């Protein structure tokens, strides 16, 4: 049981390039989330999904797109990277039901630098 995994762990992009971050969970969780964390800050919610085929905007969605084609995967895309998107990106999942429905499990993070 690997929990929540993220690919890649590190990435450097040039301004204007695109990339996709992959999040996978093997806990059969309904809910999945993408956050970003800037130095000295708490995490901020980018987008989230409450089930396969559904997505919703979080606090800071601009410049990002997401897709949840399979229940276990949640993809975060940057179409045209900007230096302001330099950050550490965390994916999380939560059961969505049951006694621990609200407990989010986080992945190890992806460190992205945009030059």
Partner 1 sequence: GESVGLHLPTLSVQEGDNSIINCAYSNSASDYFIWYKQESGKGPQFIIDIRSNMDKRQGQRVTVLLNKTVKHLSLQIAATQPGDSAVYFCAEMRGYSTLTFGKGTMLLVSP
Q: Which two tokens stand for residue 6?
A: 């993220």
| 94 versus 114: smaller Cβ distance to partner 1 | 94
Burial class of residue 53 (count of CB atoms within 10 Å of its CB; 0-12, 13-18, 19+): exposed
Q: Is 115 in the site for partner 1 (CB under 8 A)?
A: no
Under rule CB under 8 A, residue 63 binds partner 1:
no
Q: Minimum CB separation from partner 1 for residue 31, in Å?
A: 6
Q: How far is the CB of 44 from partner 1 (least distance, A)?
A: 7
Q: Quick check: 108 binds partner 1 (CB under 8 A)? A: yes
d(CA 44, CA 24): 20
């Amino acid at each position: 049981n690997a929990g929540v995994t993220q690919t890649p762990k590190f990435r450097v992009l040039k301004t204007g390039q695109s990339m996709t971050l992959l999040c996978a969970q093997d806990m059969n969780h309904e809910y999945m989330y993408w956050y970003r964390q800037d130095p000295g800050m708490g995490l901020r919610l980018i987008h989230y999904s409450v089930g396969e085929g559904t997505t919703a905007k979080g606090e800071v969605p601009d410049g990002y797109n997401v897709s949840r084609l399979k229940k276990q995967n949640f993809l975060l895309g940057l179409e045209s990277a900007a230096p302001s998107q330099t950050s550490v990106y965390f994916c999380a999942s939560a059961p969505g039901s049951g006694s621990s429905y609200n407990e989010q499990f986080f992945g190890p993070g992806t460190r992205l630098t945009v030059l």
